[in-house]
Amino acid sequence: MEPVIRIAIDCMGGDTGISVTVPAAFEFASRFPDTKLLLVGLPDELAVAVSAARKKFPSVSPEHFSIVAASEVVTMDDPVEIALRRKKDSSMRLAAQAVKDEQADACVSAGNTGAWMAISRYILKTIPGIDRPAIATALPNKKGSNTIMLDLGANVDCTPEHLLQFAIMGTALAQVDSTGPAPSVGLLNIGEEIIKGNETVKQAAELLRKSTLNFYGNVEGDDIFKGTVDVVVCDGFVGNVALKSAEGLARLIASYIREEFSRNFLTKIMGMLAMPVLNCFRYRLDNRRLNGAALLGLRGIVIKSHGSADAYAFGFALQRARDAVLNGLLERTSVAISQLTQSATVTETVRSGDSA
């Protein structure tokens, strides 16, 4: 099949880098022959990794991938300033540049989150009306659907206006795959009461109440997985801690189940009988399937993978990029953000005039 979707991959990013990204890319290409992968990285290392991957996945032909040579690598410890200003030929930067130059439809990196956000923002710029991009992903809830949560680590310090913009972006993302009523938005807080939270959160809640968004009010941590609202908004510090805590709890539960059902002969028999249910439970708790978060608010599709992702998890990040292109995420989200931003601005202007 002739490739129709192009994804640029920062092959050097992440805790394990090329030993994960290249095998994952070839496994992905073997399943989705409509996709061409631009493998960006140090050419000598890529040549060795690609040679090994081609032997393992012989169905992937040369037309389904190409190597983009980079001379520098952004490490997980590099300050943003170093990544952005000094390493101008890094694999991370060239992956984002491929989208800017229309050589790729999307780009993916498992590298340094702060550097990836800064480089993507510098290269691609933000959509009008959005000051900062935000990392968003969909988390499963007990209703059987997903809760979109943002920001998950791109912005540690946020103003009330930033949180309002995150709500607009989250609503736009929710609307991409929905034709139902306006998505509900909750502001993550330490309690549901209006008086709860710091000044930033209180002011953000006031802005959300005045906006045209379907603002539910304050929500607490457990509401994320209850499915109380469609979109949960918070700053990147809180969001990243909440996400990592949930992932850690999922791993703890899975480990506890394995230990409990291997204690003795009786529990092993019980485990065997319960295996279909346990497998479904383990599959649903496997955070690797949730890998791949979108950096919303940019003029291009940018996906952030976990830095510690293995090949299985990184494959899901690539799939997120492919799905985003197929679903017209950039175009539809841009239109929705424009409409919501204009509506919110008009409403605020009218209300300001009335109060005057």
Give the CATH number, domain containing residue 32: 3.40.50.10950
Q: b vs e for 281-306, b when ≥16 Cβ sit within 10 Å of the residue's Cβ?
A: eeeebbbbebbbbbbbbbbbbbbbbb
Phi and psi for 287 in degrees, rounded to 5? -70, -15
Q: How far apart are CA 46 and CA 167, in angstroms?
A: 40
Asked if 161 and 281 sit in the same domain, the reply is yes
**Pairing between strand 134-140 and 146-150?**
antiparallel
Asked if 281 and 181 sit in the same domain, the reply is yes
Q: b vs e for 155-169, b when ≥16 Cβ sit within 10 Å of the residue's Cβ?
A: beebbbebbbbbbbb
Asked if 52 and 70 sit in the same domain, the reply is yes
Asked if 142 and 286 sit in the same domain, the reply is yes
Which CATH number goes with the domain that contains 196?
Answer: 3.40.718.10
What is the share, in percent, of the chain residues with pLDDT greater than 70? 83
Asked if 271 and 328 sit in the same domain, the reply is no
Check if the beta carbon of residue 56 is closer than 8 Å to that of residue 73. Answer: no
Asked if 169 and 201 sit in the same domain, the reply is yes
Confidence of residue 285 (pLDDT cuts 50, 70, 90): low
**Pairing between strand 146-150 and 231-233?**
parallel
| Overall domain count for the chain | 2
Reading across the β-sheet that carries 214-219, which strands appear in turn?
65-69, 35-41, 5-10, 106-109, 301-304, 293-296, 134-140, 146-150, 231-233, 184-188, 214-219
Selection from 19, 38, 34 nearest residue 108 by Cα: 38
Report pLDDT for 190. 93
Q: How far apart are CA 113 and CA 306, in angstroms?
A: 9
pLDDT at 355 over 50: no
Asked if 102 and 6 sit in the same domain, the reply is yes
Asked if 280 and 352 sit in the same domain, the reply is no
Supply the DSSP symbol for 16.
Answer: S
- Final residue in a domain of this structure, among 290, 318, 343: 290
344 or 253, greater pLDDT: 253
Q: How far apart are CA 155 and CA 144, in angstroms?
A: 29
Q: What is the distance, to the nearest Å, from the Cα of residue 291 to the centroid of all Cα atoms in its chain?
A: 7
SS3 call for 100 = helix
Q: How far apart are CA 275 and CA 269, in angstroms?
A: 10
Report pLDDT for 142. 87
Q: What would the pLDDT profile of 194-239 be if each residue is shown by its tens digit? A: 899 999 999 999 999 998 899 999 999 999 999 999 999 999 999 9
User: Angle at Cα 241 formed by Cα 237 and Cα 246, nearest 5°?
Assistant: 150
- Final residue in a domain of this structure, among 290, 313, 328: 290
- Final residue in a domain of this structure, among 290, 307, 334: 290
Confidence of residue 29 (pLDDT cuts 50, 70, 90): very high
Please give the residue range of the domain that contains residue 215. Answer: 138-290
Asked if 245 and 356 sit in the same domain, the reply is no
Question: Residue 233 forms beta bridges with which residues?
Answer: 150, 187
Q: Which residue type, as a one-letter code, is found at position 309?
A: A
Q: How far apart are CA 79 and CA 270, in angstroms?
A: 51
Asked if 219 and 278 sit in the same domain, the reply is yes
Asked if 168 and 278 sit in the same domain, the reply is yes
Report pLDDT for 230. 95
Check if the beta carbon of residue 38 is closer than 8 Å to that of residue 98. Answer: yes
Q: What would the pLDDT profile of 237-280 be if each residue is shown by its tens digit? A: 999 998 888 777 766 766 766 676 666 666 666 556 555 655 55
Check if the beta carbon of residue 18 is closer than 8 Å to that of residue 41. Answer: yes
Give this prediction's pTM: 0.83
Termini Cα distance of the chain: 63
Report pLDDT for 302. 96
The mean per-residue pLDDT over the stretch 296-317 comes to: 93
Report pLDDT for 257. 66
178 or 60, greater pLDDT: 60
Asked if 63 and 78 sit in the same domain, the reply is yes
Report pLDDT for 349. 45
Q: How far apart are CA 272 and CA 54, in angstroms?
A: 38
| Residue at token pair 């190409």 | 66
